[in-house]
Amino acid sequence: MQGAKSKIKIEIDNTPPEGSVFTEVILKFPEEFKILIQDHSSSFSGKLHAVLCRNFLMGETTYIKGRDYFDLDWYLTKGIQPNYILLKNALYKAGPFENKELQVDNGWLKKELENKLKDLDWNLVKSDMTNFILEGSFDDLDKIFNSDSMIKKTKFF
């Protein structure tokens, strides 16, 4: 769309939790340059922290960010394992688990995710997703984004 303007929001955490694994990649557009990025496991852990803690951090019980669950589905479908060191540190730093000593492992994560996914208002999740999913991209969001479907995808935990 010629002449259209886009906005990009950049957030920087000056005191991120420890444990991220980074890798260097070369981007070739618009010019060639190196950039440091988190690996998939570390990014997944950040997303898990958002899914488990966002309502608490926002101070709202009904705040739903559909993008969190869209991304969660992507990570689960790809079978990416979380970076448990980073996840534990992020949970300890902020949210309902702040300053709590947790045994963050497969069993703990599966239980917490199942509880979260069962309690979600999936209509709010899907409603928020319509803001960034092109019409017709997914024929039936109900089949993909519901508690049973998402819980089945946590099978690798």
**Which of the four pLDDT bands, split at 50, 70 and 90, describes residue 4?**
confident
Q: Is this model's pTM higher than 0.75 or not?
A: yes
- What is the phi/psi pair of residue 22, to 5°? -115, 155
pLDDT tens for 87-139 read: 999 999 999 999 999 999 999 999 999 999 998 888 888 888 877 777 766 66
| Cβ 32 vs Cβ 17: under 8 Å | no
Where is 75: in which H helix or E strand? helix 66-78
C-alpha to C-alpha distance for 113 and 59, rounded to whole angstroms: 20
By three-state DSSP, how is residue 49 classified?
helix
C-alpha to C-alpha distance for 106 and 84, rounded to whole angstroms: 9
C-alpha to C-alpha distance for 92 and 99, rounded to whole angstroms: 5
